């Protein structure tokens, strides 16, 4: 099971460096505050559907570079 499965964004971010929120998101992307309550599965679905910003957010949340 992937480590983010079943977690909400707020929980995932607790294991990430604060600098993840400084990454540039494209025009039309939701703010981090707007997505805090979304589950990992919702992020994946929105990324698959190419909703603005979600492919980048998905990529950022997966990157080990931002792990604490």
Q: What is the pLDDT of residues 26-44, one digit of tens each?
A: 999 999 999 999 999 999 9
Q: With cut-offs at 50, 70 and 90, classify the pLDDT of residue 3.
A: confident
- Report the half-sphere exposure of 32 (CA within 13 A, side-chain side): 15
Yes or no: say if 60 and 66 are a contact pair by the CB < 8 Å rule: yes
Percentage of the chain beyond pLDDT 70 is 97
Cα dist from 38 to 6, 30, whole Å: 10, 12
Say yes or no to pLDDT of 50 above 90. Answer: yes
pTM of the model: 0.89
Q: Where do we find the tokens 């998905």? A: 58
Q: What is the pLDDT of residues 16-29, one digit of tens each?
A: 999 999 999 999 99
């Amino acid at each position: 099971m992937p480590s983010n499965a079943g977690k909400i964004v707020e929980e995932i971010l607790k294991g990430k460096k604060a600098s993840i929120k400084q990454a540039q998101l494209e025009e039309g992307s939701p703010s981090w505050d707007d997505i805090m309550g979304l589950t990992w599965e919702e992020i994946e679905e929105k990324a698959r559907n190419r909703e603005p910003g979600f492919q980048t957010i998905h990529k950022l949340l997966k990157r080990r570079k931002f792990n604490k």
